[in-house]
Amino acid sequence: MRPFTTLSVVAWLGGFHVLPVNAIQTISAVGSKFFYEDGTQYFLKGIAYQLTPQDPLIDTAQCKRDISRMAELGTNAIRVYHVDPKANHDGCMEALAAAGIYLFVDLDTFDTSIRQVNPQWTHSQFDRYKAVLDEFQKYNNTAGVFVGNEVINTREGSVAAPYVLAAAHDIKSYRNEKNYRNIPVGYSAADIAELRPMLQNYLACRPDSADRLDFFSLNAYEWCGPSSYETSGYKKLQTDASNYPIPIFFSETGCNVARPRTFEDQAAIFGPEMSNTWSGSMVYEWIQEANDYGLINYGPLPGVPAAKMLVQDGFTRQGEPIPVAPDFHNLKAQWATLRPTGVALSDYIKSTSTVKPASCPASTPGGWVVDPNRPLPTLVQKYHRAASDATAISGPGSGSHPGYHSARVTSVAPPNYHTYSAVNGVSVSSSGMKDFDRLAGASLFLCMSIGALALWL
């Protein structure tokens, strides 16, 4: 594989914009990390939030009650597994943004998810995925979308991997064709030890970024009770993720085999052992249910009869959020002490020339059975924004995609990335960008966007 090569820096003048009340920086994936628009690195301190099976982001009043507790906890991200793309999400999304909380949302539904047995990727599935993206791309605090959750959950399931990648390819192509913001597209994997390293690399190994995920995440429950980085299995996870070329994080964690949960794994994830590789974690889950993973229960609301409270599957899903003790407080105490600084985008950019795609795993009878050079079962051709940069791609597998358009792919920095030395100490000369002064006290600001660097040929 050829390493990333710097191709160009392109700037767009964004013009004047009115700052809404819930203005929040967008999140972008650059290389192996997430960044805010101001160039500081973003680490997830997240919670799985599926308050109701259909859509937890339509009851604004309940969102606000929950968000108040989330803010107390130190949350800056939530994951939602199922939403109704036809519903109005403005209230909940604005309340999340006001609290500095970002959304990672799954695009599939119970009946449109990719299956491990007899997998397929169809136009009806694609239409549903597009509908969710259409709805949530308009919110600045939509930080990422998942094209699947634990599609592969047994060691025999690797045959479904090309369909996951095809969904990611088509959603990214649709995103670009619609000229949406570059919302990162990723996958949430089950922790299947026999397949994890191969799947992880397969989803990030193709020479064209249009054929790769923008991020990879893992549902891992290996750290249970008192343990350590070495004995829990996290050291192996870190070894397998070392030098991974796209952002990687825990999309579920928080083993409850040993009670109470103390969340000691968070110190490893956000500490020196892992924070240079991993971008944080999502703790499972917000509401207490039969599986006993909840961080809160719901109490009554003043003046609301108990008979009018929302109850599903025997659990109240509306009301005043009451922390589950001591789990809620244990997580709060952990996160309060964990503040990784990460790397400034201006410094990280200098090292991207050393990053290269993952090594594609070879097919192995009885194990990983996917040929990485076979065409993906996609529904659309590649769509690249940087059409003027079109060029031939050389490298493994470059000739194996009949009908595809090859193009030079660039990595894009956060769209409003500025170099405010008073904020993050970045100098103009080191980043190659012109500095703009903020319009203090005004509701307008001059937005400067930069397109950054080429990643790989």
- Mapping DSSP onto H, E and C, the string for 265-302 reads HHHHHCCCCCCCCEEEEEECCCECCCCCCCCEEEECCC
Rounded average pLDDT over 136-160: 96
Asked if 427 and 421 count as a contact pair (C-beta separation under 8 A), the reply is yes
Q: Is the dihedral of CA 71, 73, 78, 84 positive or negative?
A: negative
Lowest mean pLDDT among 238-247, 278-287, 407-416: 407-416
pLDDT band at 355; cut points 50, 70, 90: confident
pLDDT band at 6; cut points 50, 70, 90: very low
pLDDT at 140 over 60: yes
> What local confidence, expressed as pLDDT, does residue 414 receive?
57
pLDDT at 352 over 90: no
DSSP bridge partners of 299:
320
Asked if 103 and 80 count as a contact pair (C-beta separation under 8 A), the reply is yes
DSSP bridge partners of 27:
36
Rounded average pLDDT over 54-78: 97
At 316, is the secondary structure helix, strand, or coil? strand
Q: Which of 422, 446, 419, 319 is nearest to 9 (CA)?
A: 419
Task: Give the DSSP letter of residue 456.
Answer: B
Phi-psi map region of 127: left, alpha, beta (phi>0 left; psi -120 to 50 alpha) = alpha
pLDDT at 225 over 90: yes
Asked if 359 and 101 count as a contact pair (C-beta separation under 8 A), the reply is no
Q: Could you give the CA distance from residue 180 to residue 26 in angstroms, rounded to a whole number?
A: 13
Most confident of 16-30, 207-221, 359-373, 398-412: 207-221
- Of the chain, the percentage scoring pLDDT greater than 90 comes to 70
pLDDT band at 306; cut points 50, 70, 90: confident
Give the residue extent of every domain in the chain: 31-385
> What local confidence, expressed as pLDDT, does residue 345 receive?
97
pLDDT band at 192; cut points 50, 70, 90: very high
pLDDT at 394 over 50: no
pLDDT at 332 over 80: yes
> What local confidence, expressed as pLDDT, does residue 391 receive?
27
Asked if 80 and 105 count as a contact pair (C-beta separation under 8 A), the reply is yes
Task: Give the DSSP letter of residue 223.
Answer: -
Rounded average pLDDT over 328-357: 94
> What local confidence, expressed as pLDDT, does residue 110 receive?
85
pLDDT at 423 over 90: no
Asked if 367 and 155 count as a contact pair (C-beta separation under 8 A), the reply is yes
pLDDT in tens, 357-389: 999 999 887 789 999 999 999 998 877 765 333
Look over the chain and give the mean of its residue pLDDT values, rounded to a whole number.
Answer: 82
> What local confidence, expressed as pLDDT, does residue 416 receive?
54
Lowest mean pLDDT among 89-93, 101-105, 145-149, 403-407: 403-407
Residues 6+ apart with CB under 8 A from 90: none
Catalytic positions are: 150, 252
Strands 102-106 and 44-48: unpaired
Per the confidence metrics, is the pTM higher than 0.85?
Answer: no
Q: Could you give the CA distance from residue 293 to residue 296 in angstroms, rounded to a whole number?
A: 9
31-385 CATH: 3.20.20.80
How does 48-82 read in b/e, with b if 16+ C-beta sit within 10 Å? bbbbbeebbbbbbebbbbbbebbeebebbbbbbbb
Asked if 228 and 401 count as a contact pair (C-beta separation under 8 A), the reply is no
pLDDT at 415 over 70: no
- Output Rg (C-alpha) for the chain, integer angstroms: 22
> What local confidence, expressed as pLDDT, does residue 20 receive?
52
